[in-house]
């Protein structure tokens, strides 16, 4: 059994390294092609850029503190909004999935908000909360909360029936079933919800700052695009992508660890 587990982990590690090498190779090839196209004037420099120019501009923005200033502003809004989304979204999703009467009463409302473009509410948020951080945080919360609600609702509704029957056979109460079976089995759904919510939250931050911000990565992105600072636009796009990849890969790694623990226990 130990050797089988060792072989499995070795194979998975090898597959991960091969996949990483292929991904890095594709990215490097695209960057080289982009740089060569810019050097040969195959693309208009006024409407595009090149990797070398983007790197140079990024270093200049780091040196003068401009980039860090706007990253801090966006990070403050994202962390506040994402934290509130987790704080309220997880319990709401659990309640919708665990209590049938809550599900029947509120699922239509959740479905309506889930399918609605949240950016459409930004004018109302500005009227209600003003032009400060509160309006942008509200949009981030509304963008990130529904993937958490839906995933936790599905988690509560898809508990393994055999586990539930065993618990009932041993005289477990509904509260004990919830704490010992429902919550532990919902961890994979929670991690998936966090990954989706993180992406929606980043989108909400950028959209809110483009729509009604005076600082932040989204505001700077809108301003740079309007003034044809293409190098700055690409720097900001890379920053947003980098944070998204870091958060997503971190949560993905945690979810894979959870899966490996289940395999080991099996």
Looking up residue 97, the CATH number of its domain turns out to be 1.10.3720.10
CA distances from 225 to 50, 128, 185, 202, 237 (A): 16, 29, 46, 19, 11
Distance CA 148, CA 37 (A): 43
Percent of the chain with pLDDT over 70: 86
Residue 20: give the domain boundaries.
1-43
**pLDDT of res. 164:** 67
Nearest to 186 by CA among 81, 86, 93, 82: 93
Q: Are residues 216 and 155 part of one domain?
A: yes
Q: Are residues 19 and 56 part of one domain?
A: no
- Assign 266 a pLDDT band (cuts: 50, 70, 90): very low
Q: Are residues 186 and 148 part of one domain?
A: yes
**Domains in the chain: how many in total?**
2
**pLDDT of res. 261:** 54
Average pLDDT over residues 75-92: 92
What predicted TM-score, i.e. pTM, was given to this entire model? 0.79
**pLDDT of res. 80:** 93
Q: Are residues 246 and 196 part of one domain?
A: yes
What's CA 236's distance to the chain center, in Å? 17
Is pLDDT above 90 for 182? no
Is pLDDT above 50 for 250? yes
Is pLDDT above 60 for 252? yes
- Average pLDDT value over all residues in the chain: 81
Is pLDDT above 70 for 109? yes
Percent of the chain with pLDDT over 90: 11
Is 168 or 226 the better-scoring residue by pLDDT? Answer: 226
């Amino acid at each position: 059994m130990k050797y089988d587990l060792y072989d499995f982990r070795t194979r998975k590690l090898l597959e991960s390294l091969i996949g990483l090498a292929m991904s890095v190779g594709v990215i490097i090839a695209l960057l080289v092609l982009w740089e060569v196209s810019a050097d040969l004037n195959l693309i208009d420099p006024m409407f595009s850029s090149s990797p070398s120019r983007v790197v140079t501009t990024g270093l200049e923005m780091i040196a003068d503190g401009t980039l860090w200033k706007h990253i801090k502003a966006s990070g403050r809004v994202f962390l506040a909004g994402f934290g509130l989304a987790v704080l309220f979204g997880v319990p709401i999703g659990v309640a919708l999935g665990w209590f049938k009467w809550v599900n029947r009463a509120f699922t239509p409302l959740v479905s309506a908000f889930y399918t609605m473009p949240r950016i459409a509410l930004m004018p109302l948020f500005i009227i209600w909360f003003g032009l400060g951080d509160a309006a942008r945080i509200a949009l981030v919360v509304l963008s990130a909360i529904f993937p958490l609600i839906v995933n936790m609702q599905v988690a509560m509704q898809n508990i393994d029936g055999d586990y539930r029957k065993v618990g009932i056979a041993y005289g477990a109460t509904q509260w004990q079933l919830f704490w010992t079976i429902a919550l532990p089995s919902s961890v994979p759904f929670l991690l998936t919800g966090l990954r989706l919510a993180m992406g929606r939250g980043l989108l909400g931050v950028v959209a809110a700052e483009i729509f009604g911000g005076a600082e932040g990565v989204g505001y700077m992105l809108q301003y740079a695009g309007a003034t044809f600072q293409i190098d700055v636009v690409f720097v900001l796009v890379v920053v947003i992508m980098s944070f998204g990849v870091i958060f997503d890969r971190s949560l993905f790694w945690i979810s894979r660890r959870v899966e490996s623990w289940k395999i080991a226990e099996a």
